[in-house]
Amino acid sequence: MAEPGSAGRERKAARDVRIRVGHLYPDYLNIYADRGNIAVLARRAALRGHELSVAPVSVGDTLRPGEHDLLYVGGGQDREQALIAPDLAGKGAAILEAAAGGAAVLAVCGGYQLLGRGYHDRHGGDLPGVGLFAHETVAGERRMIGDVLLECELERGEQRSLAGFENHAGRTRLDPGAEPLGRVVAGFGNDGESGYEGCRVGRAVGTYLHGPLLPRNPWLADWLLAQALAHASGGDAPELEPLPDRLEARAHAVSAQRARDRGGRF
Ligand code: GLN
């Protein structure tokens, strides 16, 4: 058996991996700087010698499990969600199979809602979901808008903070035992009551945070890239070379402070 240190160095040295991203419904779910999140993934992959190849997967397209190392689904209003929900539900089995096969997933806001069991909107509409995340969402009277700060621990013993902005009418209730993405330090989170935000299942993460999310939380971009690389290469998630991230750290600090100062509140 290889000595752990050398295996680690080998994993770090791997370059030239093509990371295949399936961008779900970029023509419908795109209002929360979703292209910015993809741009961050592409740039941070390139700086480590990898190539991100992004393929749109929209209404009428076939999603083949195993063809993507990372699935991305962005945010949209109720109207756009209603337009794509039946098609997305039809892709549900493929999405579950992809995630069970170790593909990474990032779902933001409207996409996060629809990767749960469903969304009951303000007009009595019931949108079917995919059931990847163990939650249901019901729209409330007042929108939950404001800066958010979370404490996360995606890897045991590694506490990280996530800063962003939320804007949603939906109240998302996690099933008992479902793993949230983080604990709310400031802001509303999933439902304004539970103290939790987002959901995590293996390499799949869903969240209400946008603003956009990844430029000010580069650790999450790297975590997703590492999971996607693990799927692409069939091994463990590699350690990525650190990047300077000075501007990113400042953006995070400003956003975190805004959340601490006024957070989301009615
Ligand atoms: N329809 C969702 C909600 O308002 C999606 C979020 C959004 O459009 N801002 O809860």
The two three-digit tokens of residue 11, written as one number: 């994993």
Q: Which stretches in the chain have pLDDT values below 50?
A: 1-13
The whole-number pLDDT of residue 4 equals: 41
The whole-number pLDDT of residue 158 equals: 96
SS3 248: helix
Tell me the C-alpha to C-alpha distance, in Å, between residue 221 and each of 35, 40, 42, 83, 260.
13, 7, 10, 29, 23
Q: Which residues contact 166 (CB under 8 A, 6 or more apart)?
A: 109, 144, 145, 146, 148, 187, 188, 189, 208, 209, 210, 264
Taking the centre of ligand 1 as the mean of its atom positions, its distance from the CA of residue 169, in whole angstroms, is 6
Q: Which atom of ligand 1 is nearest to the CA of 32?
A: 9
Annotation marks residue 210 as catalytic: yes
Segment 108-124, tens digit of pLDDT? 999 999 999 999 998 88
Q: What is the largest CA-CA distance in the chain?
A: 60
SS3 194: coil
Taking the centre of ligand 1 as the mean of its atom positions, its distance from the CA of residue 139, in whole angstroms, is 8
| Torsion angle in degrees (nearest 10) through CA of 242, 147, 122, 71 | 0
Is the alpha carbon torsion for 210, 212, 217, 223 positive or negative?
Answer: positive
Cβ–Cβ under 8 Å, residues 180 and 200: yes
Q: Which residues contact 169 (CB under 8 A, 6 or more apart)?
A: 78, 122, 139, 140, 142, 143, 144
What is the secondary structure of 116-153 as a DSSP string?
A: SSEEE-TTS-EEE---SSSEEEEEEEEEEEEEEEEEEE
Residue from 109, 135, 231, 252 carrying the catalytic annotation: 109
Taking the centre of ligand 1 as the mean of its atom positions, its distance from the CA of residue 72, in whole angstroms, is 17
Residues lining ligand 1, Cβ inside 6 A: 75, 77-78, 81, 109-110, 113, 139, 167-170
Taking the centre of ligand 1 as the mean of its atom positions, its distance from the CA of residue 108, in whole angstroms, is 10
The whole-number pLDDT of residue 6 equals: 40
The whole-number pLDDT of residue 262 equals: 81
Annotation marks residue 50 as catalytic: no
Report the C-alpha gap between 52 and 234 in whole angstroms: 17
Straight-line distance from the first to the last Cα atom of the chain, in angstroms, rounded to the nearest whole number: 58
The helix (run of H) or strand (run of E) holding residue 161 is strand 158-174
